[in-house]
Amino acid sequence: MSDTMLSVIPADPQWLPSQGAADRAVRALSALAPGHDGARATWHDRIMFVDCGSRFRQVECPLCGTVLDRAWLVDRLSEAGNTGRLAVAVPCCGGESSLNELVYRDPCGFARFDISVWNPGRSSLSDSELNTVSEALGHPVRQIMAHY
């Protein structure tokens, strides 16, 4: 049997909410995921890569649209894990970007805080639902649906 996890992360990877804001956002997300196996908020000591699990297909340069090599991405993710630095020079066009700004064909992102819901019993949140969670948290958010 496979599992899915819906994660909601702040748009700014460094941003951290108060406990009260996190609690409100967990309640809001739980109400939108009727079949969930538990929702929880997690604060991390450093920026973490929040990925889409087995749904990962490819990543593209946000500057020129070139599909980036997975080995290049893995090396940059390893460096970011060690340094916390997300800034990168993309190999295709030599431009400056951020690992968080790359175009992940199934959304992925970076965060020091996330709210995760195991087996939410639904697909991704609509823009309106995502806005509800964002308002509860007090910060713009992104969503990542992972499959394991």
Cα distance between residue 99 and residue 109, in whole Å: 8
Q: What is the pLDDT of residue 82?
A: 87
Pull the structure tokens for residue 32: 């939108």
Q: What is the pLDDT of residue 16?
A: 98
- For residue 121, the SS3 value is coil
- Give me the tens of pLDDT residue by residue for the chain, a chain 148 residues long: 688 999 999 999 999 999 999 999 999 999 998 877 778 999 999 999 999 999 899 999 999 999 999 999 999 999 998 898 999 999 999 999 999 999 999 999 999 999 999 999 898 999 999 999 999 999 999 999 999 8
Pull the structure tokens for residue 86: 């997300």
Pull the structure tokens for residue 36: 């969930």
Q: What is the pLDDT of residue 38?
A: 79
Pair 106, 18: CB distance under 8 Å: no
How many other C-beta atoms lie within 10 A of the C-beta of residue 36?
A: 20
Look-up of token digits 């049997």: 1
